[in-house]
Amino acid sequence: MMKPSSEPWDQLLHHDGVHGSVYVDPRVYESELQHIWRKTWVYVGHESEVPRRHDFVMKSLGPEPVIMTRDGDGQVRLLLNRCSHRGNQVCTKQRGNAAVFTCPYHAWSFGSDGRLKHMSLPDGFPDFDRSTLGLAQVTRVASYRGFVFGSFAPEGPSLAEHLGGALEVFDRLVALSPEGEIEVTAGFLQHKVAANWKLMLENETDGYHPSFVHSSIFGVADSGIGKLYSRNSAALSRDYGNGHTECDLRPQFRKLDVPLGWFGTTEERLPDYARAMRKVYGNERARQIMIDGTPHVMIFPNLFIAEIQIFVLQPVAVDETVQHVTALQFKGAPDLNRRMRQQTMGSVGPAGLLLADDSEIYERTHQGLRASGPQFTFIGRGVHRERTDDAGFRIGDITDDLPSRGIWRHYRSLMEQSS
């Protein structure tokens, strides 16, 4: 096994290309578990998935299953699904409400806060400190706008520092709700691909592929999406730093200047929503929010906010990834939400009119990268026209490889850190 600290990253990552082994070598994957998935902030779930005390839902933090609970005090916790006694899984249900998890093996029980509550036949145990025998928990848990992240590193950047410039993306997202909140209540599809997780990480903000991979559906669906990703689009690609990247479609939507045009609809067709938005925000601000639409942002390493849905990327092996995907639901917007679900169901998942094609490409690319040459991919598109926006973030044309370059810059900084 390669020693992570001695990996020759300058030989694997060029400024405009990535060595194929970075995607397909199991040793790189093992090293990523240590340097990324067990260290940095990783998205786990949304607070609205556990609205009441003692609600729980099975989630994952990278490859590791976790139980997201809301404990008796209302605090969201991330518990590892392993009995502290002999290691049996304490929870086998996908979701529910439970003040106590009882391990079926020897009947030890744990509270929704993870603490050991009860050991069966207690008189047989020597005298010792039972408070050390709770369920293990993700070391740090933090949330922003209801999005719950976990990190196994006891120290390091705060969640706000990790999100950095992309923090504002969450504000922009929830602004589409007349009540300023999103909800994750529609249930997830789980879509498995035989491909490395980083192919998805990069593709989510690759504005170059839609015109080709999705031409079959753009051509027959009377969709405006194709134009957004064309050569003449005013939309931009952006690198927020820390691996977070964006397809900023607002410049193009502002050119069109139609409220709800981003969603292929109009205020007349979603009258209740438009009325609620104008009442809360006032005409001018509501109009601007409804023109700009929702963000298209990949939060490193695993949360893709995809305008009307979110994807959570879960690496399972070097060549296996599960895409968990659900429609976003905006509080106080039932007519918008119905359309969100309908459009999402048509687009994503194993039979999705968009995502089945992306997923096919992920798998073929993974196989392609196993060929011995050329050694490097080429991600130099737009290198000559990189520029910075008013906030100082790197931006490029929508079809440029700028997001990939930003992802790899951050990836390298994580992989080179001694752990």
Partner 1 sequence: MSEAAGDLLREVEAFIYREGYLQDRHQYDAWEALWTDDGVYWIPANDDDGDPEKEMSIIYDNRSRIALRIRQFHTGRRIAQEPKSNLARVISNIEIMSLTGDDIHVRANAMIFESAARRDTIWGTRYEYTLRRIDGALRMARKKVILVNNSKALPNMAFLI
Q: Can residue 333 be called a binding residue for partner 1 (CB under 8 A)? A: no
First to last CA, the chain: 16
Whose Cβ is closer to partner 1: residue 233's or residue 326's? Answer: 326
Of 254, 247, 341, 251, the C-alpha closest to 296 is 247
Cα torsion for 364, 370, 375, 381, to the nearest 10°? 20
Q: How far is the CB of 161 from partner 1 (least distance, A)?
A: 33
Among 219, 251, 271, 282, binds partner 1 (CB under 8 A): 219
Q: How far is the CB of 183 from partner 1 (least distance, A)?
A: 12
Q: How far is the CB of 302 from partner 1 (least distance, A)?
A: 15
Whose Cβ is closer to partner 1: residue 282's or residue 368's? Answer: 368
Query: Which element (helix H / strand E) includes 253?
Result: helix 250-256
Q: Can residue 327 be called a binding residue for partner 1 (CB under 8 A)? A: yes
Distance in angstroms (rounded) separating the CA atoms of residues 262 and 254:
10
Is the C-alpha dihedral spanning 141, 143, 146, 148 positive or negative? negative
User: Is residue 116 within 8 Å of 134, Cβ to Cβ?
Assistant: yes
Cα torsion for 225, 230, 235, 236, to the nearest 10°? 120
Among 57, 91, 217, 277, binds partner 1 (CB under 8 A): 217
Q: Can residue 344 be called a binding residue for partner 1 (CB under 8 A)? A: yes
Whose Cβ is closer to partner 1: residue 94's or residue 120's? Answer: 94
Among 190, 283, 388, 419, binds partner 1 (CB under 8 A): 190
Of 201, 260, 289, 253, the C-alpha closest to 398 is 253
Cα angle 332, 349, 170 (rounded to 5 degrees) comes to 40
How many residues in the shown chain lie near partner 1 by CB under 8 A? 40
DSSP 37: I
Q: Can residue 65 be called a binding residue for partner 1 (CB under 8 A)? A: no
Q: Please choose, out of 83-91, 148-156, 259-267, 335-343, the segment that lies near partner 1 by the rule CB under 8 A.
A: 335-343
Q: How far is the CB of 405 from partner 1 (least distance, A)?
A: 26
Q: How far is the CB of 368 from partner 1 (least distance, A)?
A: 12
Among 15, 93, 192, 255, binds partner 1 (CB under 8 A): 192
Binding track, positions 348-387, relative to partner 1; x by CB under 8 A: -xxx-x--xx-xxx-xx--x--------------------
Q: Can residue 186 be called a binding residue for partner 1 (CB under 8 A)? A: yes
Q: Please choose, out of 77-85, 290-298, 324-332, 379-387, the segment that lies near partner 1 by the rule CB under 8 A.
A: 324-332
Whose Cβ is closer to partner 1: residue 92's or residue 388's? Answer: 92
Q: Can residue 58 be called a binding residue for partner 1 (CB under 8 A)? A: no
Of 239, 238, 362, the C-alpha closest to 311 is 362
Residue entry with tokens 């067709």: 269
Among 5, 34, 92, 215, binds partner 1 (CB under 8 A): 215
- Where in 78-107 is the site for partner 1 (CB under 8 A)? 94
Given strand 116-118, what is the order of strands in its sheet?
100-102, 109-111, 116-118
Query: Which element (helix H / strand E) includes 356?
Result: helix 355-368
Among 322, 333, 402, 407, binds partner 1 (CB under 8 A): 322
Q: How far is the CB of 345 from partner 1 (least distance, A)?
A: 5
Q: Please choose, out of 112-120, 167-175, 347-355, 409-417, the segment that lies near partner 1 by the rule CB under 8 A.
A: 347-355
User: Is residue 4 within 8 Å of 415, Cβ to Cβ?
Assistant: yes
Task: Cite the beta strand spans of 3-161 per DSSP E.
Answer: 13-14, 17-18, 42-46, 55-61, 64-70, 76-80, 95-97, 100-102, 109-111, 116-118, 140-144, 147-151
Residues forming contacts to partner 1 in the complex (CB under 8 A) are 94, 185-194, 213, 215-217, 219-221, 322, 325-327, 338, 341-342, 344-346, 349-351, 353, 356-357, 359-361, 363-364, 367
